[in-house]
Structure formats: structure tokens, C-alpha cells
Amino acid sequence: MSATPSLHVDAVTVDFPVYGGDSRSFKNDLLHRSTGGRIGRYAGRGMSVRALEEVTLAFARGDRVALVGANGAGKTTLLRVLAGIYQPTGGTVRRRGRVASLFNISLGIDFDATGYENIGTRGLLLGLTPAEIRERTDEIAAFTELGDYLAMPVHTYSSGMMLRLAFAVCTCIEPEILLMDEWIGVGDAAFVEKAERRLQAFVERAGILVLASHSAALIERVCTTGVLLERGRVRAAGPIDRILRQYAGHAS
């Protein structure tokens, strides 16, 4: 593990190619929307959507960052850039520390496989070694309270049970940089409190947290700083209450 995780984003621009979409006739219309990115020409052929434009941010150990903004403002794209999934079309990203991205909690769930098998596959996708997975399986199993169900195919689970399983596996890792898209919701009332505690501990273990969310209550509880995105640009960045006020004021 590196001593100090850090994330630097320098003048990052992301252009998405749009293929097959004959959006020319809608061009003017789209350019004047209030949500979404900018639409323009891509490399001289076809259309492109500018999802991020000249985004510059720096995160250091201890940062609890909320990404806020309207739909299509670029939150998910920025998270993917931070994770290294999208290499930006312009600008640079420097990343130090083990990164974990939790965008979709049920990624890689095989409904025909048993709970235990799914713990294994999901663990591998999260970057754990088989030995680490074996080590943690008991703890994960205990947390889910699924008991013998873990030896049954996941398609026999209720959606709540499946969520418990996915949640327990996802939160068993120790990333230095944690990237999350929306909060992981866990339905079952009896389970919520327990899950919340685990989630809190999980998030606190991470050196850096970047969370994209629409829930002001949640953001206030977890994050200390905020970044307000608007049509792919950073409109404001700073203490979370100021950013939330600005976002609320802007939205109304």
C-alpha cells in the first residue's frame, strides 16, 4: 500500500463519439438544453458529446468528496475517468493508491451460481486474490445472515437477499481510493441499520472517497467537500454546505 493516496485531475476533457445517431437536425435544439453535455463535431466526422470540459481537481488523503449536479452533468463520466476506465481525450489524470469502483452493486452476479460461488467471482472482480477471498468468506457469510442459502443458486433469493450478498462482498475490501455512484441502498428494514454501520466503517477505511449522489441528507452525513458539475464543467468546488446551497439555489 502506498503511504498517501492521491488523485489529480488536470484539465481533463472527455468527448464521446456518437455513432449512428443522426442528431444533426436536433443540433441547435440540443445545444440549448439545460441538462447534458455539449454536442459538437468529433474529429471532423460524426457527432460527439462533450461530457467533461477542462476539469481540474485534486484530492488528497482524508477527502470525502460529493459530486453533485443535474442528470448528464458528467458525474458518472468523471467517476469513470477517476477509476481509469475512460482515458480522457484531453488533459491528464494521476492516481496513487489502490482504487475500487462501486458503480453497480450487482456487477458480475451469476444467478445460476450459488451464493458462495458469487462471493468468489465478485471478490476476484474487486481485485482480491483467491486466498484473500477464502479468508473473508466466513465473515461475509456471517454478515449476510443467509446461512444455508449461500449454498443455493442466487436465483432462488429474493431481491433483498441478493442485495445483502452483493453488499457484503463489495464492502469487504479495503481500497485506498473509493469511488461510488449513488449510495448502495439496502431494502430490508431490519438490515438497514447494520448495513449503514458497515458502510460507514467501510467508507471511513478508505483514504479518499468520491461519491456521486442526489441525496443531500446522505451527502451531508458523509462528505466534507463537494464539487458541483454543470454540463461537464466544474461550476464550484468547496465546503459541502456551500456547494449544496449553491446546487439547491441553482436547481430552483
Binding site for other proteins (CB under 8 A): 16-17, 19, 80, 83-87, 89, 99, 101, 103-104, 107-108, 110, 112-113, 117, 120-121, 124-126, 129-130, 153
Q: How far is the CB of 188 from other proteins (least distance, A)?
A: 25
Q: How far is the CB of 87 from other proteins (least distance, A)?
A: 4
150 or 228: CB nearest other proteins:
150
Q: Are 210 and 175 in contact (CB under 8 A)?
A: no
Q: How far is the CB of 67 from other proteins (least distance, A)?
A: 17
Grid cell listed for 174: 479495503
210 or 228: CB nearest other proteins:
210
117 or 188: CB nearest other proteins:
117
210 or 243: CB nearest other proteins:
210
Can you tell me which residue has the cell 436536433?
26
134 or 197: CB nearest other proteins:
134
Which residues are CB-neighbours of 96 under 8 A, at least 6 positions away?
A: 2, 4, 5, 6, 7
Of 207, 242, 208, the C-alpha closest to 228 is 242
Of 94, 23, 34, 88, the C-alpha closest to 59 is 94
Q: How far is the CB of 127 from other proteins (least distance, A)?
A: 8
Q: How far is the CB of 45 from other proteins (least distance, A)?
A: 13
Q: How far is the CB of 247 from other proteins (least distance, A)?
A: 26
Position 177, amino acid: I
126 or 243: CB nearest other proteins:
126
76 or 246: CB nearest other proteins:
76
Q: How far is the CB of 15 from other proteins (least distance, A)?
A: 9
Grid cell listed for 210: 468520491
